[in-house]
Each structure stands twice: as structure tokens, then as C-alpha cells.
A and B are shown apart, each in its own frame.
Chain A
Amino acid sequence: MNYIWHILVMISIYAVLAASLNLVAGYTGLLSLCHAAFYGIGAYATTLLMMQMGLGFFPAMALAVPLTALLSLLIAIPSLRLRGDYFVLATLGFQIIVFSLLYNCVRLTRGPYGIPGIPIPSLFGVPVDTVFKYFLFSTTISTGALAILWLLIRSPFGRLLRAVRDDEVAAAALGKNVPAVKTMAFALGAGLAAIPGAMFAGYMRYIDPTSFTVGETIFILSAVVIGGAGSFWGPLVGSAFLVALPEALRLIQIPDAVAANLRQVTYGLLLVVLMRIRPRGIMGEYEFK
């Protein structure tokens, strides 16, 4: 049973990650390749605030969110002036820099050794110490985070994001400050990515830089694209699909010698087929150009 709860915890974490990237990539049209960096900054910030400053899980997370949003401005302000492909490359560069910093700032992050022994989060004095409890805990947090996103998207600000995505020039002609809108969307998406970072750190109770690589960014982006960019439910469906799919393939009886490879092949093939038949994703609204 714990196995099922574990998968559901992972889905709840990835759902918020993908949904926060969707705010940036799907609703605002900014194809960002550094979301795992913000996820990582959120995880490390929460962990360090808990272990070095002795804060509880929630105060640490509450501080990690604005901190991550603030750090995202380091990349947003210079790179949002760039157009299309160059913006994508700039965010990729930021992702690699953050990974290197996490890996090499040994005094702060312990680098490749990672940080073990992260305290168990507790809620109203009750420690969240079993997988089932953590499932309830993480589902509650992600529901809260997704509710915030839902309100954002339905608000006039959400309408503005889609307007900027659809036609920047027309938006500027209607008096919208396009660079400011993009920067705000980018920082909001980054800040929201710190929440799953905290959830992940509290769940694993050990973090190291390998969880926050470019590969992880691609995985999150896949969840957005496969689920359907620019739709609220898309990234949730996409992350459930991507987290559960390898597990489902595990159930197929394949000889051990080829199992791992065959699973990878099947996985890749399914993604290719899905993109062929539904280029806008399962719930699709918006197609990247």
C-alpha cells in the first residue's frame, strides 16, 4: 500500500511543479528551461532554513517562496529582453549555473554529499512520519498551491498573461507593460516552484543536486506539454501520466535482463506517439511555435 501512497506523493509534488511551469510556459508563452533550478533553490532554501536557522517546515517554506521568486529575477531581468530561442538558451544557462553552484558550494550545500537528516515536518504538533500521512500532508499543500494558481489564472492578471502570449505587440498597443508582465509571471512561477521543492525535501529527508538537473527540467516540461500547456488541468494530468507510466510499465512481465532498457524504449515511444496524435497535449489549449 505504501507504494501507492508514495506514487501519489510524487504526483502531488510534480503536479505543482508542472502547474507552476505552466503559468510561465503555457499561459505566458515563455519557454523556460530552468524550472528544476527553482525547484532546487526551494528545496535547499527550505532545508537550510530548517536545519541552520531552526525554523519549522512551514515558516521555512514561506520564506523559501519569496526568496526563490527574488532569485528568479536574476535571470528574468536580463534574459526577458531576449527573443524566443535566445531566452530559452539563457534559461538553460541559468539552470546549469544553479546546478553547478549547488554542486560546488560545498560549505553551504555539502555539494555532491547532499544534506541528510532533514527534520520530519509536523502539522499542529503531529509529526508527518508515515508515507500515508505524508500523502495527506502533501496533497493538502499542493491543493492549496493549485488553488492559488487557479485564482491567478482566472483573474484579470491571467487574462493579461494570455494576451501577452498571443500577441505582444497588440498587448503593448493596448497599454500593457509587456516586459513587466512577463517578469512578474516568471517570478510567480519560480516562487510557486519552491513549494514542491519544500515538499520534496520534507518527504525524502535527504537532498542532493542530482534531483535538480537539466533532465529534471525536461521532465517537468514534458509533463506540461504532454498534459496540455495553457490548460489548468493539463499539467496535473501530464504529471500523473509521467509519474505513473514507468510504474505501470514495471507491472508488465519482462525478463530482467532487458526490462530496464525496454521500459525506457516503451516510455519514449509512447511520448512520440502521443505528440503525433495530440500535439497540444491531452488537455491541450496552446501549441508552442
Chain B
Amino acid sequence: MNLERDRGRGPRVAREFSVLRRLREAVGAGPGGPGATGAQAGRPALAVQGVSAGYGKREVLRGVSLEVLQGEIVAVIGPNGAGKSTLLKVVAGLLPASQGHVFLCGDDVTSLPAHRRAHAGIGYMIQGGAVFPSLTPDDHLRLASLVARRRGIGGTGQPLVPFSATFPSRHGPAGLLSGGQRQALAVASILASNPAVLLCDEPSAGLAPGVARELMEQIALLSRERALSVLWVEQRVGDVLPLADRAVLLRDGRPAAETSSPREWLGDGVLAELTFGGATRG
């Protein structure tokens, strides 16, 4: 709806958009879909049970439990320091949980290291979407599709190639790409690994508002098309809530509220509560 207005913002933003749109065209053609994810209807694709974790002696998560059903997008919002990113790190296996369990499609993956969880089907998009600066876009997709092949569900490397062709420097290092292109590439890499559950940590961090919204919409569309289950941590509350099926408000390392109609949280009352929560933490 806002795209027409944003498109008038000059050639740079327009170029970002063309990359983002091609991202969906290219990735959408992949052999994804619910059949490839291994999840069964009625069972949660991802379940977090009573997870506590922290850094050193500082406990950030205090007994978090939540579920993401098959094909569901769950937004996790909350003030800074509430433990949103920490939660994703624990699910991805990059930070050990001091208590609690993480289940992927019913299997306990709590004791698996990060790379084994990726093999099991967890796709983790690091905050702001990390790319490998010295690798080319093609390299990224090849690297990622190896994981999919390992899981025996076929790499999506082939249909992704037209996408990387849209980059100005397909054979140049990714470090030279613009912010939006880099983040689109990070999304494409994760999707090329064909995960069952996608963890997004502020995928649009640092982007201009228009580009950020477009990237977020594309991620949501791609996830819907492939029936991906998504756990989505986001600061851009106003942008993420309309895209989500459910939302969880995290405060002081605990789920403080939950809703199945996230749009209702866009009303004044809840936003004030969020602000208030941020203020008490100083």
C-alpha cells in the first residue's frame, strides 16, 4: 500500500526493492512446502518449555515457555533487554539453556550444538542478517543448500541462482552489497537451507523504513508459501504485528502477555504498556 509512495524515494531505494521482489520470485520457486518440513499437523513445530538462560551470572530468560504451530508466524516483542534475542540464541543452540527444553517437531534438541540443530531444520537469521563479506552471493547459496541436501530434502540452490543474478556484483564479495541487498541475501541463504522452523532476529535492523517494511513483507509471504513456522523477534512492532498470527510480549525474561489477534495490540493501550515496561527497566 505504501509501496507507490516509497518507490518515489529515488533510485537507491528502487534498486533495493527490485532485489527484494526478485528474492521472492526466485526463492518461491523452490521445492519447499509443508511436505518438506517434516512437521505433523496438530503438533507444534517448535516448543520451548521452561527455558532459562543467561550470560555468566546474569540471568536473562526466566522460565520461558512458548509454542509455534506448523505454518504459524509468532512475533516476539518487548522492550530492550527483555531477552528476545537471547531466546532465539537458545533455540538456535548458540547459547546453552540452564533449564528447560527445546523441541523441534516433537524431538528434544536441547543437547544438540548449533550446527546439528541447523541440520535438524532450524534456520536462524542472525540479528540484521549476517552475510559472509568475502564470499559471493552464489557462494552463500551453495553453502546453504548443502545443509538442505544433507537433510535429504533437496537443495534449493538451483532456483535461487536467478536471484543472485540480480545482484550488481554476483561474483563480487557480499561485503560490497548495500544493506538491503545484504539482508535479502541473508534471507535467501537461510531459505536455501530449507528449514522447518525459521528464527528471525530483527531481519530488517538498520534499514530505511520503506525497505525494512518491504523486506518484512517478503519474509512473511515466503514463509506462508512454504508453510514455514516462524519465531520472529522484532523492534518494529507496528510492522510485524499485522504480519503475525500470534504475538508474545516478553518482559524481564518472561512472557508477560500473549494474543492470537496481534493487530489488537496496535491500539494505544498496549503500546503504552510496552513503553511503560521499557521505562521501568531504565
Contacts and interface: CB of A to CB of B under 8 A. Distances in A.
B119 A175 contact: yes
A173 B126 contact: yes
A218 B123 CA distance: 41
A176 B143 CA distance: 9
Contacts of A165: 134
A286 B134 contact: yes
Given A159-B139, A160-B143, A163-B143, A173 B134 contact: no
A169 B186 CA distance: 13
Nearest to A27: B134
Nearest to B123: A173
A176 B193 CA distance: 12
Interface string A169-198: 111111111100000000000000000000
B150 interface: yes
Contacts of B144: 174
B115 A170 contact: no
Contacts of B76: none
B276 interface: no
Given A156-B146, A174-B193, A176-B115, A230 B134 contact: yes
Contacts of B113: 172, 177
A162 interface: yes
Contacts of B150: 175
A243 B189 CA distance: 44
A11 B125 CA distance: 45
Given A159-B135, A163-B135, A169 B130 contact: yes
B134 A175 contact: no
Interface in B78-102: 92-94
A166 interface: yes
B147 A167 contact: no
A166 B133 contact: yes
B118 interface: yes
Given A156-B143, A172-B93, A175-B115, 19 more contacts: A159-B135, A162-B135, A163-B132, A166-B134, A167-B126, A169-B94, A169-B114, A170-B131, A170-B186, A172-B114, A173-B94, A173-B124, A173-B130, A173-B190, A175-B119, A175-B147, A176-B115, A230-B134, A285-B134
15 contacts: A159-B135, A162-B132, A163-B132, A163-B143, A165-B134, A166-B133, A170-B130, A170-B131, A172-B115, A173-B126, A173-B130, A175-B146, A175-B147, A177-B113, A178-B115
Interface of A: 156, 159-160, 162-163, 165-167, 169-178, 230, 285-286
